[in-house]
Structure 1
Amino acid sequence: MTPPRDAIDRLSPAVRYQIANGLGWSGLRPVQALSTEAILDGANCVVLAPTAGGKTEAAFLPLLSRMDVEDWRGVSVLYVAPIRALLNNQEARLHRLTGLIGRRAGKWHGDVKEPARRRLMDEPPDVLAITPESLEAMLLSTRTPARRFLAHVRAVVIDEVHAFAGDDRGAHLVALMERISRIAEADIQRIGLSATVGDPETIVAWLSGSSLRPQRVVDPGGTRKPPELALDFVGSLDNAALLIDRLYPGTRRLVFVDSRRRVEELGHRLSQRGVDVYLSHSSLALSERTAAEKAFEEGTNCVIVATSALELGIDVGDLDHVIQIDAPSSVSSFLQRMGRTGRRAGTKANCTFLATDDDALLRAAAIIDLFRNGYVEPAGPSSWSPHVLAHQSIALSMQERGAAAHAWWGWLEGCAAFREVSTSEREAIVRHMVYNDILVEADARLALGARGERLYGARNFLELYAVFSTPRVLRVLYGQTEVGVVDAAFLQDKERQSPNFVLAGRPWRIVGVDWKGGTCSVEPAEAGSYPRWFGQPVTLARSLCQAMRRVLHSSDHDASWSKRAVAAIEAQRASHAFLDDAPLPLEEDSNGRCRWWTFGGGAGNRILAGLLEAELGARVSPGNTFITFVDGAAESAVAIRQAIDALVARAPLGWADAARLVDPDQRSRVSKFQPCLPKEIEHGLIARETMSVDDANETLAAWKRSASNPESRA
């Protein structure tokens, strides 16, 4: 897309003056010129540019121009980010931008204390940086006059929009935008910012909801320098620590690890080697994370080990290298992480993968393969989110101090997250909630019922502020200083290796645990085991699994692979030689098991395994790349083929097929608002949250295509 040459001339004189004199720029970058046109034309848009590509200015310069020309007053722009750390990181930048034209920015989230909030209420800023959860809390609060405070909102800027689009927080966010647009009585402009979105047209339509504004994708395109990629096979985390110690001496390295436990383990191993190392993950105290990021930013020869939290646009200074232990689960995450580098003139973005086992090596090679082919996963926001709708009905009953039973839906009508929730389903959800005393209906108004208060009313309705649940954790205190948090279940595990544990890269001895108060007192120790934080197993997408198959089936070597990586991948290719003879082979092993190598992704395989188990009458287990048949199910490969053929004859599969697989006696917990849903809708939700009919149907279609060559099924 070619940027208009006169875009800067459309900005207000004050903004143009400050671009030259306040910012010291000679003009606008292509993305800023294009976004200026789109935003001043009044469009809802998604702005795409690499990390540090000027997306924040791309959104705010035209918005500040409109603010200046149209004399917006009060809180007129909301800046929404997925995590508090990003809001903190952007605070100075927003202050500087708004200050260019004599306006103000403010910040509001869970760490902002009450005196600061009161000052914001007394003197509302022009731009308010906030999380969705804090927006919800503001709307529900009896102490915050949200209607007055938000009455003048004219635009919402959503940073890292891809981080919202694929989950419940995104559905919550677009519902909040509908509610705020009703309060402001305006068609609020919606602007999403991202470096990595595979389906930007879908995202801008999802953000728009009931808005009647035109929709645009702002993508400056253009060629970018190819990054420097390296993939090495190191075999263990200890070897990874050794290599990180020796790699790129005298530089600042950011190491991504995809679990908090392994962040602690790697950080501890590096510190034992004398490396200047800092840690960052969500279970460390804010003071620990802030100190680590600041020390790292000011260092010159150091390492920070972090989880995915540091991929979300947070500035930790001018990085030299990104190192990935094993592999992320998506190309999008890889691009975000690699985008932390290559910001200085004359430097390139770079990423070094250090694989600690064969599975991680294959996954990393597949990520590189997808990247080489220009693929980024679609975010695929849901348009059927009945649990979030239930959450919003409760929130509205509280916001309105009793929502009119016939009118509450008017607050949300047009929201893209509920577009496929039918009228009958919506009415059934409310009836179910009233019947179960989650809501009560009196005088044609809906209010929170006694059971609703028990489920969601504790701690000043904290459970209603967010659509997601968090496990019970205990605060770890060294004296009066908070180190971080650990799962209560970890401390209760009597089989852990040591009574001591490592947190923030340092070993601690437990002095005492206050279960009622939720604290664990510690003192320094010589050694300790690494804590566990309990989460869900990783489900890989079909696209990634298919790329893994391509790597195994190919004879090519990517230029990024080290000699060790080449040797390890060649060994995997030799052990998967059966893939050469069949696109979706059945492999029988010496233990009496049979595997169907679908490379179909975990969510699609889950449906197929459930339906095949029902057909065969014996246990069938899904994985990401294969489906395993054991015991009676593995007795006959012919019977397995016949069962698969029977599924092909039934295809295409639908969500009703998936919902029937949900065990009513062992329901998965996918949302804390499941009690608000009738059983049939709850089963449908579990199915959609854990399975993929599209992926299952693609696998069945591939099996059907192989039918033309019977030998390929051998």
Structure 2
Amino acid sequence: MSGIDDLEPALVHHVVNTLGWPGLRPLQEEAIGPLLAGDDAILLAPTAGGKTEAASFPLLSKMVQQKWSGTSVLYVCPLKALLNNLLPRLETYTSWLGRTAALWHGDVTSGARKRILAARPDILLTTPESLEAMLVSANVDHTSFFSGLRTVVVDEVHAFAGDDRGWHLLAVLERLQRVVGRPIQRVGLSATVGNPDELLLWLQGSGAGKQPSAVVAPHLANPKPETSAAASPAPADIQLDYVGSVDNAATMIAALHRGEKRLVFCESRRLVEELGEKLRAKGVTTFLSHASLSVDERRRAEQAFAEARDCVIVSTSTLELGIDVGDLDRVVQIDAPLTVASFLQRLGRTGRRPGTSRNCLFLALDRDGLLGAAALLMQWSRGWVEPVIAPPEPRHIVAQQLLALCLQEPQVGDRLWQEWWNGLGPFGQSTEPIVRHLVDNGYLDQDGGLLFIGPEAERRFGHRHFMNLTAVFTAPPQFTVLQGRKEIGRTDPSLLTERIDGPRRLLLAGRSWQVTYIDWKRKRCFVEPIDGGGRAKWSGAGLDFGISFELTRAVREVLLGANPPVDLTARAEKYLAEAREHFMDEVHPGGTVIIRGSGGYVRWWTWAGHRANATLAATLAEVAVPAQQINDCWIRLREDLSPDDWKGASAAAPDHLCLPEVDERAVKGLKFADALPPRLAESTLARRLADLESAAQVLSEPVRFVMRPG
């Protein structure tokens, strides 16, 4: 069996003498054999479990032992900030062996890129978007640059696999593999997944089941389906409190754990801004991090937070992944994250110092926040974590990849494109109508059996050397906010256009600003600092998938009397009791409930989650109110509904489940949707909005009718 003795001796010397490690952790030890053998692998460990070293030490050893040359390892991350954070570590490890590591992403200067092209680093840290930009760039000889490529390490692989960036990454890896002319070893790193075997098969792409592979997870002893030991309730100090408002949350955070470093997670940028401003008003040293702050603003905040002691950083999920923010004491969660996996990432930020334990304080701002937190903690306490499932039918990514391939290659045969993705699932026979649509609508030109970029693709995506083609998501339009020449961040344009009395004020980076000038053409606004009164707002992007079936059902359990096995404050217990009384009629242990209210409205309380409810509303269209706003807990039914009507409609429903209706605006929000036939774009979204399995389960449950007095 392989172990530390199989690593390059010079590397082992530095592990022992430079790092001062007495030995390797179990994950690092167990990863050596599969990675040295060239197996594809998923390395699983809780946050701060040493996954980067578990991947890099065997690969660096193999690099030296097999005399790899050029850029032989790609290290792919979902966030540029995570890459920036990892670079110094990987530069240190490569330097021990006379090797190099370098960074390539959207913020890297053209000078640094030229140096990389002139002297290829052994390890290149990058994003999928930057990889594709290299493949399509006229300035990069991709055949030469990637000729030595042997292995791709995908950090935080679950963050890719759960959305379209994952399909984009897999498609780019297949194209890279064809450029290189040999299979590329794929290694995924993850802290929190409920289905590691399926995730490994996904990561292998066209090589699934053909290449040797291994899940390396020494902390998993007899893992159950959809259960991860990273999720098991290992010793942790978890408290759930109800505070009722952002003001009260700020008061609590300011008063508790003074002298300690606290990381506070919020579920929206607006809430980050509001809480940050209130904490500063209370004299707390406060930093902010979210996606609409400028890169410089975020870096300053993260660096200052890492170096400070008695302080708070308020963040969205931008600091959820493995970015190092120093020696953290406490995590505070406002309301609840959308998934157990997110909670695990956040909880894992603490307890890294010897003698400390993982901890998280939940502060609920309202009843929904309290119930959501209690439900999430119920599922966490059972060792449950969401399985990572790739979004079905990524047809828009197929369209994008066809266009990108025609940019990459000077000549693409009108049949040869099939070979570039090696039979990867979405790129099979179902791609034919997409190719026809692209040709018929001018996105691609066809001549002599070859495909070329067409005028419509030039018009829609050709700006700045087709940069817009390599980004999978469409961001809502935002205005850049500047104080003089200093960029602060970006804000929603509606804050600059809505009617107001008096001066226009923004809240950004935890401070209030007065707008002095708006440059509409260049989408910029200039501001000066003021004492208060600013507002923060950002429009949401993408589809609303709401809360999952499992978490919504856990809310129902809480309402039926179950408590999570964590420390509940007296306030939390009081407001949970009030919530149970409020929803007394809407929950029933024996099944679901249909209630006709005093106003004549009829609601079916399914407690099934957003996607299952959308599926049920479409399936039961003859008795459901049309075009209703879908939520996680209930569906509106016709006011004249009788028990017999219900019995007739629901009896046949399990055998005729329907995909949800899709709003035209949602289709427009799907990037590259215009490059698809309309019916395929709608079908793609409808499939993603559906939860057929959970809908069928709800239909199989008994239904109780409640008629409230008028």
TM-score of the superposed pair, with normalisation by structure 2: 0.94
Instruction: State the distance in 1 between where 2:117 and 2:17 align.
Output: 32
Query: What whole-Å deviation, never above 9, does each CA across 1:548-577 have from its counterpart, x for those lacking one?
Result: 111111254633211111111111112222
Instruction: State the distance in 2 between where 1:205 and 1:647 align.
Output: 36
Report what 1:41 is aligned to.
37
Deviation at 1:401, TM superposition (A): 2.4
Query: What whole-Å deviation, never above 9, does each CA across 1:374-412 have from its counterpart, x for those lacking one?
Result: 001011013521111111000000100242211112111
SS in structure 2 opposite 1:484? strand
- After TM superposition, the structure 1 = structure 2 runs for residues 438-457 of structure 1, keeping only pairs within 5 Å, are 438-457=443-462
Instruction: State the distance in 1 between where 2:170 and 2:669 align.
Output: 20
The reply to whether residue 481 of structure 1 matches residue 512 of structure 2 is: no
The answer on whether the counterparts of 1:171 and 1:388 sit within 8 Å (CA) in structure 2 is yes
The reply to whether residue 625 of structure 1 matches residue 621 of structure 2 is: no
Report what 1:199 is aligned to.
195
Q: 1:232 to 1:404 in 2, by over 3 A?
A: same
Match of 1:435 among 440, 452, 469: 440
The reply to whether residue 214 of structure 1 matches residue 212 of structure 2 is: yes
Match of 1:584 among 592, 595, 618: 592
Instruction: State the distance in 2 between where 1:260 and 1:607 align.
Output: 30
In structure 2, give the amino acid aligned to 1:118. K
Report what 1:20 is aligned to.
16
Report what 1:190 is aligned to.
186
Q: 1:434 to 1:711 in 2, by over 3 A?
A: closer
Deviation at 1:95, TM superposition (A): 0.4
- What is the percent sequence identity of the aligned residues? 42
Deviation at 1:26, TM superposition (A): 2.0
In structure 1, give the amino acid aligned to 2:662. V
Report what 2:676 is aligned to.
677
SS in structure 2 opposite 1:210? helix
The answer on whether the counterparts of 2:560 and 2:589 sit within 8 Å (CA) in structure 1 is no
Instruction: State the distance in 2 between where 1:228 and 1:57 align.
Output: 28
Report what 1:288 is aligned to.
297
Q: 1:694 to 1:115 in 2, by over 3 A?
A: same
Match of 1:86 among 65, 82, 97: 82
Match of 1:613 among 621, 632, 644: 621
SS in structure 2 opposite 1:564? helix
SS in structure 2 opposite 1:613? coil
Report what 1:176 is aligned to.
172
In structure 2, give the amino acid aligned to 1:491. L
In structure 1, give the amino acid aligned to 2:218. P
- After TM superposition, the structure 1 = structure 2 runs for residues 640-659 of structure 1, keeping only pairs within 5 Å, are 641-642=646-647, 644-651=649-656, 653=657, 657-658=658-659
In structure 1, give the amino acid aligned to 2:461. Y
Report what 1:355 is aligned to.
364
SS in structure 1 opposite 2:309? coil
SS in structure 1 opposite 2:551? helix
Q: 1:639 to 1:483 in 2, by over 3 A?
A: farther
SS in structure 2 opposite 1:567? helix
Instruction: State the distance in 2 between where 1:346 and 1:117 align.
Output: 44
Query: What whole-Å deviation, never above 9, does each CA across 1:91-143 have from its counterpart, x for those lacking one?
Result: 10110111121100000001100000000111110000001111111111101
Q: 1:295 to 1:557 in 2, by over 3 A?
A: closer
Report what 1:544 is aligned to.
551
Report what 1:149 is aligned to.
145
- After TM superposition, the structure 1 = structure 2 runs for residues 132-531 of structure 1, keeping only pairs within 5 Å, are 132-211=128-207, 212-221=210-219, 225-382=234-391, 384-416=393-425, 418=426, 422-423=428-429, 425-494=430-499, 499-531=504-536
Deviation at 1:667, TM superposition (A): 5.5
Instruction: State the distance in 2 between where 1:161 and 1:326 align.
Output: 26
Query: What whole-Å deviation, never above 9, does each CA across 1:269-308 have from its counterpart, x for those lacking one?
Result: 1111111000011111111111111111111100000000
The answer on whether the counterparts of 2:513 and 2:534 sit within 8 Å (CA) in structure 1 is no
The answer on whether the counterparts of 2:100 and 2:123 sit within 8 Å (CA) in structure 1 is yes
Deviation at 1:23, TM superposition (A): 2.5
Deviation at 1:487, TM superposition (A): 2.1
Deviation at 1:497, TM superposition (A): 9.5
The reply to whether residue 602 of structure 1 matches residue 610 of structure 2 is: yes
SS in structure 1 opposite 2:206? coil
Deviation at 1:21, TM superposition (A): 2.6
Deviation at 1:19, TM superposition (A): 2.2
SS in structure 2 opposite 1:527? coil
Instruction: State the distance in 2 between where 1:318 and 1:292 align.
Output: 15
Query: What whole-Å deviation, never above 9, does each CA across 1:591-628 have from its counterpart, x for those lacking one?
Result: 32222111111011112112323445756542111112
Instruction: State the distance in 1 between where 2:622 and 2:187 align.
Output: 47
Deviation at 1:225, TM superposition (A): 4.1
Q: 1:398 to 1:497 in 2, by over 3 A?
A: farther
The answer on whether the counterparts of 2:477 and 2:493 sit within 8 Å (CA) in structure 1 is yes
SS in structure 1 opposite 2:241? strand
Q: 1:64 to 1:619 in 2, by over 3 A?
A: closer
Stretch of structure 1 that moved more, 549-558 or 370-379: 549-558
Q: 1:450 to 1:643 in 2, by over 3 A?
A: farther
The answer on whether the counterparts of 1:140 and 1:395 sit within 8 Å (CA) in structure 2 is yes
Q: 1:617 to 1:509 in 2, by over 3 A?
A: closer
Deviation at 1:17, TM superposition (A): 2.6
Instruction: State the distance in 2 between where 1:79 and 1:123 align.
Output: 18
Q: 1:435 to 1:280 in 2, by over 3 A?
A: same
Report what 1:127 is aligned to.
123
Stretch of structure 1 that moved more, 440-449 or 294-303: 440-449
- After TM superposition, the structure 1 = structure 2 runs for residues 46-125 of structure 1, keeping only pairs within 5 Å, are 46-125=42-121
SS in structure 1 opposite 2:620? helix
Q: 1:576 to 1:615 in 2, by over 3 A?
A: closer
Stretch of structure 1 that moved more, 163-172 or 41-50: 41-50
The answer on whether the counterparts of 1:610 and 1:620 sit within 8 Å (CA) in structure 2 is no
The answer on whether the counterparts of 2:597 and 2:707 sit within 8 Å (CA) in structure 1 is no
The answer on whether the counterparts of 1:233 and 1:356 sit within 8 Å (CA) in structure 2 is yes
TM-score of the superposed pair, with normalisation by structure 1: 0.93
Instruction: State the distance in 2 between where 1:650 and 1:449 align.
Output: 44
The answer on whether the counterparts of 1:501 and 1:527 sit within 8 Å (CA) in structure 2 is no
SS in structure 2 opposite 1:577? coil
Where does structure 2 lack aligned partners over 5 or more consecutive residues? Answer: 221-228
Instruction: State the distance in 1 between where 2:518 and 2:6 align.
Output: 62
Q: 1:30 to 1:564 in 2, by over 3 A?
A: same
The answer on whether the counterparts of 1:42 and 1:213 sit within 8 Å (CA) in structure 2 is no
SS in structure 1 opposite 2:621? helix
SS in structure 2 opposite 1:622? coil
The answer on whether the counterparts of 1:170 and 1:381 sit within 8 Å (CA) in structure 2 is yes
Q: 1:667 to 1:259 in 2, by over 3 A?
A: closer
Stretch of structure 1 that moved more, 133-142 or 484-493: 484-493
In structure 2, give the amino acid aligned to 1:207. L
Query: What whole-Å deviation, never above 9, does each CA across 1:61-109 have from its counterpart, x for those lacking one?
Result: 0001110110111000000000100000111011011112110000000
Q: 1:682 to 1:367 in 2, by over 3 A?
A: same
The answer on whether the counterparts of 1:253 and 1:323 sit within 8 Å (CA) in structure 2 is yes
The answer on whether the counterparts of 2:245 and 2:365 sit within 8 Å (CA) in structure 1 is yes
In structure 2, give the amino acid aligned to 1:113. T
Q: 1:275 to 1:189 in 2, by over 3 A?
A: same
The answer on whether the counterparts of 2:240 and 2:572 sit within 8 Å (CA) in structure 1 is yes
Report what 1:562 is aligned to.
569
